[in-house]
Chains A and B, each alone.
Chain A
Amino acid sequence: MSQATPRATPLATPDVRKVADLARLELTESEAVLFAAQIADVLGYVEQLSEVDVTGVEPLMQPLELETALRDDVARAGTPVVDCAPEALDGAYQVPQIL
């Protein structure tokens, strides 16, 4: 854990603009350049995970590995969530007309 961190060549250099597009994020020119460098840095660092022998190791997604809880299909009082919408009409979410 020394402060001089090894920066390996990352497996991939993502096209940050394309990935941002997938996530519905818009980046300015300077953000795209800055983030590309910073993300490459992080990916270079996490590259070390490829050194670990994970043969036969099941991925751990959740530390307790609970079974999904189910409940009876009985109606309960709802929460007035439509009130939180930026725009709502007659109990429905209102969005600009986009075809």
Chain B
Amino acid sequence: MMKTIREIHDALDAKKASAVELARDFLTRSKADRRGAYLAFCDEGRVLAQAEKADALLKTEGKVPRERLPLLGVPIAVKDALAVQGVPTTAGSRILEGYLPPYTATSVARLEQAGAVLLGKLNLDEFAMGGSNENSAYGPVEHPTHPGRVPGGSSGGSAVAVRAGLCVASLGSDTGGSVRLPASYCGVVGFKPTYGRVSRYGLIAYASSLDQVGPLASNVSDAAAVLRAMSGHDPMDSTSAPRAGVGAIAAPDWSQVRVGVPKEYFIEARGGLQPEVERSIRDALKWYESRGARLVDVSLPHTRHAVAAYYLIAVSEASSNLSRFDGVRFGKRPPAADGARDLADFYKKVRAAFGPEVKRRIILGTFALSSGYYDAYYKRACQVRRLIQRDFLQAFESCDVIAAPVAPTTAFRQGEKASDPLQMYLNDIYTVPVNLAGLPAVSLPCGEDGEKLPIGLQLIGPQFGDERLLGLARAFEEGRA
């Protein structure tokens, strides 16, 4: 079974397989899979048309034009928070059951333009709110190798599909760690670009100042290829950075690499950080040192306030973003709504379709923005956000990349944290600071614990340092192979 873009392109070039055969194979296996990764498949006709186009082009060109169409014939799938014209898009919620978007997200469209074959939509926590993919209205997602464990979230389907070979690469979205965490738990590569690097047009919004679309793949080169194909300014997204897309990644000049180790992430985490996770990260640091990189102690003093700031800012933005789900212009309108007393009652009957976690966050956000509480909650959280960003700016004066765990532990058991939302939120301690500061970060596999559960190493770069970050990640992956 082919897992990488290179394997596929080599096979296509050698005429060992055709794009149509690959598409059929991936579709068949994906449809038979019982782990709940996929929520919907593109119409078979649509998939085969893309694959046939790839084969026709291959016939004309002789070989895959890898520069011009870097994803030609490559089977991909995308998180169901991304709109694809005419393909069911639910955001993992009942409120969008049956919704067929009239347009396609820029990130997805660009991948298709690069030759990718879109298989379908992947399961997620409802409206991307969650860290375990237990919040989907359409059922949880199983860990790819350890039944009974969560795959992480909210892009659980995206990570499982890659790990289980149900697609070669996938798209997820990362607001507080939702690409990096499932990547870490499932043992794949997950990348969150600098904020604004990839268009959010067509990504159903959770928290607009934090959301970013990111690739998941079995290796760094593939994640980079997907990122390159979709990144770059998009006039349809007013928060899209006025910059060209991510460029090529280069091998690091080790004499120039300083790896920052935040003391708050390790020393103060004692008691919360699983020993095997810590050991694995420290081994990774030793590897970087062995190549000639210097390890530098850095401090991110406001780390312990990051989860608090995040869970006020994200929920506040979400309460605003989700107010559009009113049953008027799109989404489900239940029969009960027709008998509503007044407009407010009408909206309530429509919005009863939200799941509990979504309701909780909307209520929290509404409260944090409400008159009399705005200053103490939302505004203060935004002030702390600036301090967190400043911490990173300062740290990056003495280092080029920051190394960290992705999560305090490996994949936990289904149901373990489901009844205690706050415990679930605290799992995000290493991931949310990155979104608050708008930085690029990657999770890459760096080891396993005693139960063979994957451990992810997180590398964090300065804003727009995506290429350098990918270079350092790829070097680690290749060096430790």
Contacts and interface: CB of A to CB of B under 8 A. Distances in A.
Interface stretch (B141-149, B329-337, B467-475): B329-337
Among A11, A41, A62, A68, residue most surrounded by chain B Cβ atoms (within 10 Å): A62
Contacts of A19: 363, 366-367, 370
Given A5-B422, A48-B305, A63 B380 contact: no
Contacts of B367: 12, 14, 19, 39
B386 A35 contact: no
B422 A66 contact: no
Interface string B374-412: 001101111111110100000000000000000010000
Contacts of A50: 376, 380
A25 B363 contact: yes
A54 B362 contact: no
A42 B362 CA distance: 13
A50 B380 CA distance: 8
A96 interface: yes
Contact of B195 (A14, A45, A64): A64
Contacts of A74: none
A78 to B, nearest CB: 10
A26 B348 contact: yes
B425 interface: yes
B239 interface: yes
A69 B238 contact: yes
Interface string A62-99: 11101011010000000111011111000001011010
Contact of B328 (A26, A27, A60, A95): A95
Interface string B284-312: 00000000000000000011110111011
Contact of B383 (A38, A59, A98): A59
Give the interface residue-count category, chain B. 35 or more
B38 interface: no
A49 B364 contact: no
Interface in A17-59: 19-27, 31, 35, 38-39, 41-43, 45-46, 48-50, 52, 54, 57-59
A22 B373 CA distance: 14
B64 interface: no
A52 B387 contact: yes
Interface string B340-378: 101110111101101010011011101100100100110
B100 A84 contact: yes
Contact of A1 (B328, B379, B387, B429): B429
Given A48-B308, A95-B328, A41 B239 contact: no
Interface stretch (B151-159, B173-181, B266-274): B266-274
Given A42-B422, A63-B195, A66-B239, A84 B356 contact: no
Contacts of B195: 63-64
B393 to A, nearest CB: 11
B238 A2 contact: no
A24 B366 CA distance: 10
Contact of B312 (A1, A46, A60, A81): A46
Nearest to B426: A5
A62 B380 contact: no
A92 to B, nearest CB: 11
B254 interface: no
B241 interface: yes
A3 B360 contact: no
A59 to B, nearest CB: 3
Contacts of B272: 1-3
Nearest to B85: A79
Contact of B347 (A5, A24, A60, A69): A24
B305 A42 contact: no
Contact of A59 (B373, B385, B463): B385
B359 A25 contact: yes
A43 B142 CA distance: 31
B101 to A, nearest CB: 8
B366 A57 contact: no
B157 to A, nearest CB: 24
A40 to B, nearest CB: 10
B324 to A, nearest CB: 12
Contacts of B461: none
B302 to A, nearest CB: 7
A31 B359 contact: yes
A56 B359 CA distance: 34
B239 A62 contact: yes
Nearest to A53: B387
A26 B408 CA distance: 36
8 contacts: A12-B373, A14-B367, A21-B344, A35-B359, A46-B308, A59-B383, A60-B385, A86-B328
Nearest 8 pairs of A and B residues by beta carbon: A63-B438, A59-B382, A60-B386, A24-B347, A86-B333, A54-B383, A26-B348, A84-B330
Interface of A: 1-3, 5, 11-12, 14, 16, 19-27, 31, 35, 38-39, 41-43, 45-46, 48-50, 52, 54, 57-64, 66, 68-69, 71, 79-81, 83-87, 93, 95-96, 98
